[in-house]
């Protein structure tokens, strides 16, 4: 059985002071559970604050929202995979829709980031998803499969299980629109079948969690998790509220 994964992407929200306040409220409500994995992904400036605040809660992982494609050098404002790992990150988002469509990151960058994350002991959450016009044109499967293949192109088949996958339809992110559980389930099945081909083992692919992201709330979390092949949630806005977040991770 795949253990569900709940990942909170705070995006450009929650500075160090706010992070300490969040942890105080959240940890008072959420007690350690062995049947799920919880990940907090703060902005880089709050990473070490969150790591320190979770010193006694090793059951909760901390992630980076982004890493650079190079190991070091004159890249002002960027963070390398090795630096992220040294600072306490264990997970990193790769290919998030905002990186793709706001910052213009191509599939080639996503491939490098996935590869360099694995090399440095970070678990990448590779995000894939279609825009509204792609969905309406009937190219959802074509789009997410291209992104999946590209993102994993630099990783040996035997190492693909070190990657988590998240399906986040762009049209549902921050819009209040959510994919129907059946729709999410269908895309997840398509992705898992392709993972089997890339891993050269359907059995191996069956063990890789695939998360859903896109206007997830404490109200719709249970329905989404009840859909077939939905193994967790990548949550944005609702994860900024420690009460709502504790309800989601306890679903």
* pLDDT tens-digit readout, 85-140: 999 999 999 999 999 999 999 999 999 999 999 999 999 999 999 999 999 999 99
129 lies in which domain range?
5-249
Largest CA distance in the chain: 49
Q: Do the Cβ atoms of 46 and 88 come closer than 8 Å?
A: no
pLDDT, position 175? 81
Q: Name the domain count of the chain.
A: 1
Helix (H, G, I), strand (E, B) or coil at 84: helix
Q: How far is CA 104 from the centre of its chain?
A: 19
- Closest-CA residue to 42 (of 68, 69, 60): 60
Q: Do the Cβ atoms of 41 and 8 come closer than 8 Å?
A: yes
Tens digit of each residue's pLDDT (9 = 90 or more) over 142-170: 999 999 999 999 999 999 999 999 999 99
β-bridge pairing 123-128 and 5-9? unpaired
Q: At what angle do helices 16-29 and 242-249 cross, to 10 degrees?
A: 40
Average pLDDT over residues 229-247: 97
186 is annotated as an active-site residue:
no
Is 1 a residue whose pLDDT tops 80?
Answer: no
Is 178 a residue whose pLDDT tops 90?
Answer: no
Q: First and final CA of the chain: distance in angstroms?
A: 17
Is 174 a residue whose pLDDT tops 90?
Answer: no
**Candidate list 98, 105, 168, 194, residue with the active-site label:** 168
Q: Do the Cβ atoms of 232 and 211 come closer than 8 Å?
A: yes
Helix (H, G, I), strand (E, B) or coil at 126: strand
Q: Render the burial of 104-119: b for 16+ CB within 10 Å, e for the rest.
A: ebebebbbbbbbbbbe
User: What are the structure tokens assigned to 17, written together?
Assistant: 């002071």
Which residues make beta-bridge pairs with 125?
93, 164
Report the distance separating Cα 143 and Cα 49, nearest Å. Answer: 37
β-bridge pairing 210-213 and 164-167? parallel
pLDDT, position 42? 98
**Candidate list 68, 96, 130, 188, residue with the active-site label:** 96
Continuous segment of H or E residues that includes residue 142 = helix 140-151
Is 179 a residue whose pLDDT tops 90?
Answer: no
Q: What CATH code is carried by the domain that includes residue 19?
A: 3.20.20.70
Which residues, at least 6 apart from 133, have a Cβ–Cβ distance to it below 8 Å?
none
- Report field, pTM of the whole predicted structure over 0.75: yes
């Amino acid at each position: 059985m795949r253990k569900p994964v709940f990942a909170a992407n705070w995006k450009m929200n929650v500075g160090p002071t706010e992070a300490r306040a969040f942890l105080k409220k959240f940890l008072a409500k959420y007690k350690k559970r062995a049947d799920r994995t919880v990940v907090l992904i703060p902005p880089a400036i709050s990473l070490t604050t969150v790591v320190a605040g979770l010193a006694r809660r090793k059951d909760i992982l901390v992630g980076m929202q982004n890493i650079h494609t190079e190991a070091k050098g004159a890249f002002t404002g960027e963070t390398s995979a090795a630096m992220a790992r040294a600072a306490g990150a264990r997970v990193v988002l790769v290919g998030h829709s905002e990186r793709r469509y706001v910052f213009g990151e191509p599939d080639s960058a996503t491939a490098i980031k996935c590869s360099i994350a694995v090399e440095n002991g970070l678990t990448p959450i590779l995000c894939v998803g279609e825009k509204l016009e792609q969905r309406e044109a009937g190219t959802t499967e074509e789009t997410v499969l291209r992104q999946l293949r590209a993102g994993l192109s630099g990783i040996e088949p035997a190492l693909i299980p070190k990657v988590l996958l998240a399906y986040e339809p762009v049209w549902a992110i921050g819009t209040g629109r959510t994919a129907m559980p059946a729709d999410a389930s269908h895309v997840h099945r398509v992705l898992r079948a392709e993972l089997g081909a890339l891993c050269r083992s359907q059995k191996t692919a069956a063990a890789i969690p695939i998360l859903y992201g896109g206007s997830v709330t404490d109200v719709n979390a249970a329905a989404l998790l009840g859909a077939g092949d939905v193994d967790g949630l990548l949550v944005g806005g609702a994860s900024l509220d420690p009460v709502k977040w504790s309800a989601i991770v306890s679903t």
